[in-house]
Structure 1
Amino acid sequence: MAENDIEIRDIRPAHAGEALTLQRAAFVQEALIYDSVQMPPLTQTLDELRAELIENLGCVALDGGRMIGAVRARRDGDLLLIGRLAIAPDMQGRGVGTTLLEAVESRGADAGCREAELFTGSLSEANLRLYTRAGYRETERVQEDDGIEQVFLRKALR
Structure 2
Amino acid sequence: MGMSVTISAASAQDAEQILKLQYLCYQSEAELYGDYSIEPLTQSLDDLTAELDRGHALVARLGDEVIGSVRGRIDDTGTATIAKLIVHPRMRRHGLGGRLLDAIELHFAADPAAKRYQLFTGHRSEANLSLYRKKGYETVATREAGPRLTLVTLEKAA
Q: Which residue of 1 aligns with 2:89?
A: 89
Q: Distance in 1 between matches of 2:157 and 2:5?
A: 25
Shift of 1:5: 2.3
Indicate whether 1:135 and 2:132 are aligned.
no
Q: Which residue of 1 aligns with 2:153?
A: 152
| Structure 2 counterpart SS, 1:123 | coil
Runs (4 or more) in structure 1 with deviation over 4 Å come to: none
Q: Which residue of 2 aligns with 1:116?
A: 117
Cα shift readout 1:71-93 (whole Å, capped 9, x = no counterpart):
01001131100001111010111
Paired residue total? 155
Q: Which residue of 1 aligns with 2:5?
A: 6
Indicate whether 1:41 and 2:36 are aligned.
no
CA contact (8 A) 2:119 2:155 kept: yes
Shift of 1:11: 1.7
CA contact (8 A) 1:137 1:154 kept: yes
When residues 126 and 21 of structure 1 are mapped into structure 2, their CA distance, relative to the original with a 3 A threshold, is same
Percent identical among aligned pairs is 35
Cα shift readout 1:42-64 (whole Å, capped 9, x = no counterpart):
01011100111113222111111
When residues 31 and 145 of structure 1 are mapped into structure 2, their CA distance, relative to the original with a 3 A threshold, is closer
Q: Which residue of 2 aligns with 1:67?
A: 66
When residues 75 and 57 of structure 1 are mapped into structure 2, their CA distance, relative to the original with a 3 A threshold, is same
Gaps of 5+ in 1: none
Shift of 1:97: 0.3
Q: TM-score, normalised by structure 1?
A: 0.93
Shift of 1:6: 1.9
Cα shift readout 1:89-122 (whole Å, capped 9, x = no counterpart):
1011111100000000001111221210000000
Q: TM-score, normalised by structure 2?
A: 0.93
CA RMSD across the alignment: 1.5
Q: Distance in 2 between matches of 1:114 and 1:57?
A: 17
CA contact (8 A) 2:80 2:117 kept: yes
CA contact (8 A) 1:11 1:59 kept: yes
CA contact (8 A) 2:33 2:148 kept: no
Q: Which residue of 1 aligns with 2:23?
A: 24
